[in-house]
Amino acid sequence: MNDKSFGTDKEICLDAELRKCLAVAIKNSGKSRGEIADRMTSVLPGRTVTCSQLNDFTAEAKGSARFPAAWIVAFCEATADDSLQRFVLSPRLRHMLELAENELDAQRAAQSKKRVLARLGAN
């Protein structure tokens, strides 16, 4: 996408990253674009999402096709992938989320250790 009338280099880069994020989530979902579109339609009141729209949102050549922010939750639910939600977070919020996930992992590990020690009879 070399059309500089689209926006700044940073905007062009972000657009390309967003399109890639959508495409990867679709591919990794194991679902067809039609299935994803149907699922999104079922959770977006008064909206119809089509396979053609998903194709346009992921195609770099379709610079005018923009993924609506209001559809992010439905897309993530339909693909069972939260990478798009994470993509739109600011770096600070992504770090806070990472910290919270690490804390949960540490708590789970501590609980698992307690269970194993209890089975060994060591308290």
pLDDT tens-digit readout, 15-46: 999 999 999 999 999 999 999 999 999 999 99
Task: Say yes or no: 23 and 63 in one domain.
Answer: yes
4 pLDDT more than 50: no
- Percent of the chain whose predicted confidence (pLDDT) is above 70: 93
Domain total in the chain: 2
Asked whether residue 10 falls in the same domain as residue 70, the answer is: yes
Three-class SS state of 85: helix
My answer on whether 77 and 95 are in the same domain is no
CA distance 91 to 110: 29
What does the alpha-carbon distance between residue 92 and residue 22 come to, in Å, rounded to a whole number?
22
Q: Residue with structure tokens 């194991």? A: 30
End-to-end CA distance of the chain: 62
Judgement on whether residues 104 and 71 belong to the same structural domain of the protein? no
Q: Which domain holds residue 93?
A: 89-123
Burial class (CB within 10 angstroms; exposed 0-12, middle 13-18, buried 19+) of 51: middle
Question: What CATH number corresponds to the domain at position 64?
Answer: 1.10.260
Q: Are residues 79 and 93 in the same domain?
A: no
Same domain, residue pair 83 and 98: no
Quote the tokens at residue 79.
């693909």
Residues 21 and 67 in one domain: yes
